[in-house]
Amino acid sequence: MSKRLILLTNDDGLWAPGLATLARVASRFGRVVAVAPDRNRSAISSALSLHNILRLHALGEDRYACDGTPVDCVLLGCRSVLDRVPDWVLSGINHGLNLGEDVFYSGTVAAAFEGRLQGARAAAFSIHPKGDLAEAEPWLERFLARWEAMDLPTNRIWNLNFPKGEPAGFRLCGQDSRQYHDVVEKRADPRGTPYFWIGGDSGPTYARGKGSDAEAVFEGWISTTPLHLDLSCQETLGRSGAFEQTFNGGDS
């Protein structure tokens, strides 16, 4: 294969240490072009700036800051900055884990999905908030050196989470479930006017189910989860007879 073209982005912003680590490792595999938000855009999921103009600022060779979302960055990278669809779209390394249902909110994961929709091989990377990027770096290189040998079907991506401390290795796993505490907190400003803070301070509690991404990470492994965009409920699709009887049957 000719030299790979690799598009990088994240949701922590262009100057995030995780993006610098990702760029350093990815550059060993091809030409790296970074198009990332000009500020932190965490938990913005797959938002597109449909009603706002976007500005793109070149900040050096193959390095761009965009005032839009992570998905905006991937679209601009694929459709404007680059002269062809990149071979890889890599998103991260996010400061903080993206486990279980976190993937529905994560700008990091959404950017990887957008890369896949644009036709590139794509992956999202996150690390424990107390994790060490230097310890993760050789494992990231190992993954990128080998991931082309295990292809995924259309519209699938890899979602990786690095643990706190030296990883024990990679573990193939599914999604966990998690619960956030103090999801909506009501406060008052100095004038007594109420406002609301989403997220709370205590963080999530993960079920750590057997075979899950949370179990893997908290046992010291790199959770390696294949994700797909098709959200169809296959169990219900298999009950076509019950569906016909319920919704198209003669009796009300």
Q: Which residues are 31's β-sheet partners? A: 5
What DSSP string describes 56-119? EEE-STTEEEESS-HHHHHHHIIIIISSS--SEEEEEEEEB---TTHHHH-HHHHHHHHHHHTT
What is the residue-averaged pLDDT of the chain? 93
* pLDDT tens digits, 91-149: 999 999 999 999 999 999 999 999 999 999 999 999 999 999 999 999 999 999 999 99
* 157: preceding bond cis by omega (within 30 degrees): no
DSSP state string for 166-177? S---EEE-B---
| Tokens found for residue 82 | 């680059």
pLDDT in tens, the chain (252 residues): 458 999 999 999 999 999 999 999 999 999 999 999 999 999 899 999 999 999 999 999 999 999 999 999 999 999 999 999 999 999 999 999 999 999 999 999 999 999 999 999 999 999 999 999 999 999 999 999 999 999 899 899 999 999 999 999 999 999 998 776 667 888 999 999 999 888 756 667 888 889 999 999 999 999 999 999 999 999 999 999 999 999 998 776
Domains of the chain listed by start with CATH number: 4-177+207-248 (3.40.1210.10)
Q: SS3 of 159, please? A: strand
Mention every residue, 6+ apart, whose C-beta is less than 8 A from residue 236.
243
What is the C-alpha to C-alpha distance for residues 114 and 106, in angstroms, rounded to an integer?
12
